[in-house]
């Protein structure tokens, strides 16, 4: 059949298209065309090709007069001109037009109707279409019929490389965003996460312009007496710090696991699904995620037995960055619609590879701003190409890779909301204790869960603290069910002098990193950092 005019831009001419197909039909195409496998659970296991993580060095933003003064140019947003964008766009369109059929997925980003945008994905792989149907908010049949023109379009031709001789190209991979054209073009990478983060990057640009704080965080809400909704908590942190795992709590309702907005009426999820890391996944440790792997779920880059179709979640033979993508409704206690009131707790998760930060610290508002702008963590193996073990890193707003505006824009908005809604701020280390990576041990997930439970219960609001002389952090010294020796880092190390040496080394990195924000952050925020 001819491609209906309203499905995608006029220069897509492929005569056969599968638009918003049900999971079963997409499974059929993925299996027959891409040698995927359907697990005993009904989930589909598939490979993303050579790229098993994001390629941040190949991300480009069009430098245009309308927006260039407000874009944070540099190592995150690499500028290209509009002509180069159009060349890559045409390369993607030409490739898609060579396919026997393509897949078009229409969905929404943003559960708050006042902030919602219509997203269209045009791609050549059934797996990419199914993935984005899981990750976007799915329209009803009536909404799909009335969908009309999209606000944002993704052309995913990831199977086809960029031309490295094109101006501004650094490799055969290119992920290009045009704020003015409201489009993203993907070449040379089949990693599905580039589409998800492309939508988030665009929302990071759009929402602050509307007075809404866009955030790289998960969110959940407690259940008060008689089943009434309770307090909301936000969990900030990069991949591998525990956002998805810690927010999937059987005692609380999940609003979302990764991307949110905070507006005048409260918080809302940007996505319609979850993209959970599943390396070392077990039913005992993460029962909510385990049960979400069912018919409709996309398992990305996992290792499985071809005879039994059983997944080996312990294996990292393909990558550490194994993933499960599923609609948020697959979480038993998901809160749908995915919205909530203003948060009571804002929790910064850091994976401290040096092992010197406390498992939980109570932050002043100034300390909260310091650590939000610092965004310290460790890059976890597999999350990005070329990362094989944790590496110390600073990511402004725990989201630098996706920020479009300057970090202080988001930081000032967060400061205002913390003050206006009297939210408490916490720093929770999910990394190492008793020594750094290779010497100490990773903090037990059960201990971290007990810390989070105590925060929600209000037990830590007035708990005793131990202030260290290096970071000036008030480490909470007593948490029910957690060994007190673990809570004060220098006591967990076999040699306290070695802890202090490592702590001062890390503190110096904090101070070096923060120089980029010191002038705009203000003296009181600078003073809230390491002494």
Is residue 258 flagged as an active site residue? yes
Q: Which of 112, 176, 249, 258 is catalytic?
A: 258
Is residue 323 flagged as an active site residue? yes
Q: Which of 60, 91, 196, 197 is catalytic?
A: 197
Is residue 216 flagged as an active site residue? yes
Buried b (16+ CB within 10 A) or exposed e, 365-389: bbbbbbbbbbbbbbbbbbbbbebee
Is residue 239 flagged as an active site residue? yes
Is residue 51 flagged as an active site residue? no
The three state secondary structure string of 418-455 is: HHHHCCEEEEEECCEECCCCCCCEECCHHHHHHHHHHH
Structure tokens at 303: 């290792």
The three state secondary structure string of 240-301 is: CCCHHHHHCCCCEEEEECCEEEEECCEEEECCCEEEEECCCCCCCCCHHHHHHCCCCCEEEC
Q: In sequence order, what are the residues at sequence separation of 6 or more whose Cβ sits closer than 8 angstroms to the Cβ of residue 140?
A: none
Written as one string, the DSSP assignment of 484-531 is: HHHHSHHHHSS-HHHHHHHHHHHHHHHHHHHTTTHHHH-HHHHTTS--
Picking from 410, 26, 5, 416, the residue whose alpha carbon sits closest to that of residue 192 is 26
Q: Which of 8, 178, 218, 239 is catalytic?
A: 239
Q: Which of 128, 323, 379, 456 is catalytic?
A: 323
Is residue 345 flagged as an active site residue? no
Q: Which of 52, 178, 244, 433 is catalytic?
A: 244
Q: Which of 29, 51, 54, 344 is catalytic?
A: 54
The angle subtended at Cα 462 by Cα 460 and Cα 465, nearest 5°, is 80
Helix/strand/coil for 223: strand
Is residue 277 flagged as an active site residue? no
Q: Which of 216, 253, 371, 490 is catalytic?
A: 216
What is the four-CA torsion angle of 383, 387, 393, 398, rounded to 10 degrees?
-10
* Catalytic residue annotation: 54, 197, 216, 239, 243-244, 258, 323
């Amino acid at each position: 059949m001819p491609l209906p005019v309203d499905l995608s831009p006029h220069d897509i001419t492929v005569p056969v298209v599968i638009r918003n197909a049900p999971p079963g039909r997409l499974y059929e195409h993925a299996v027959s065309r891409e040698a995927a496998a359907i697990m005993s659970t009904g989930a589909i296991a598939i490979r993303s090709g050579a790229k098993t993580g994001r390629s941040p060095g190949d991300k480009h933003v069009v430098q245009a007069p309308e927006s260039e003064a407000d874009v944070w140019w540099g190592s995150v947003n690499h500028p290209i001109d509009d002509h180069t964008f159009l060349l890559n766009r045409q390369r993607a369109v030409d490739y898609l037009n060579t396919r026997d059929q393509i897949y078009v997925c229409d969905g929404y980003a943003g559960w708050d109707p006042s902030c919602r945008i219509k997203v269209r994905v045009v791609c050549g792989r059934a797996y990419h279409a199914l993935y984005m149907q899981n990750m976007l908010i799915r329209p009803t049949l009536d909404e799909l019929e009335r969908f009309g023109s999209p606000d944002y379009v993704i052309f995913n031709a990831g199977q086809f490389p960029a031309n490295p001789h094109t101006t501004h190209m650094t490799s055969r991979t290119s992920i290009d965003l045009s704020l003015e054209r409201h489009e993203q073009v993907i070449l040379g990478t089949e990693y599905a996460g580039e589409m998800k983060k492309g939508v988030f990057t665009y929302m990071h640009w759009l929402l602050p312009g509307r007075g809404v704080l866009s955030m790289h965080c998960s969110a959940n809400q407690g259940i008060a007496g008689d089943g009434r909704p309770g307090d909301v908590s936000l969990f900030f942190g990069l991949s591998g710090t525990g956002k998805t795992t810690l927010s999937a709590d059987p005692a609380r309702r999940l609003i979302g696991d990764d991307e949110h907005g905070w507006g005048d009426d409260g918080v809302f999820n940007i996505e319609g699904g979850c993209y959970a890391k599943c390396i070392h996944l077990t039913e005992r440790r993460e029962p909510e995620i385990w049960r979400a792997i069912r018919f409709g779920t996309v398992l990305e880059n996992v290792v499985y037995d071809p005879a039994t179709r059983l997944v080996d979640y312990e294996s990292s033979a393909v990558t550490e960055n194994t993933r499960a993508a599923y609609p948020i409704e697959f979480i038993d206690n998901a809160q749908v619609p995915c919205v909530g009131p203003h948060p009571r707790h804002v929790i910064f998760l850091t994976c401290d590879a040096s092992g010197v930060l406390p498992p939980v610290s109570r932050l002043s508002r100034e300390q909260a701003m310091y650590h939000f702008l610092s965004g310290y963590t460790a890059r976890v193996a597999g999350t990005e190409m070329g990362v094989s073990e944790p590496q110390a890193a600073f990511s402004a707003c725990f989201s630098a890779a996706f920020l479009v505006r300057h970090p202080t824009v988001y930081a000032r908005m967060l400061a205002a909301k913390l003050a206006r809604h009297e939210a408490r701020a916490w720093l929770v280390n999910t990394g190492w204790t008793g020594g750094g990576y290779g010497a100490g041990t990773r903090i037990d997930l059960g201990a971290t869960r007990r810390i989070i439970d105590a925060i929600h219960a209000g037990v830590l609001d007035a708990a005793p603290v131990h202030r260290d002389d290096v970071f000036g952090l008030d480490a909470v010294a007593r948490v029910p069910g957690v060994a007190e020796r673990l809570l004060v880092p220098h006591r967990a190390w076999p040699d306290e002098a070695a802890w202090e040496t490592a702590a001062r080394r890390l503190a110096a990195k904090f101070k070096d990193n923060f120089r980029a924000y010191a002038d705009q952050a203000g003296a009181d925020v600078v003073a809230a950092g390491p002494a």
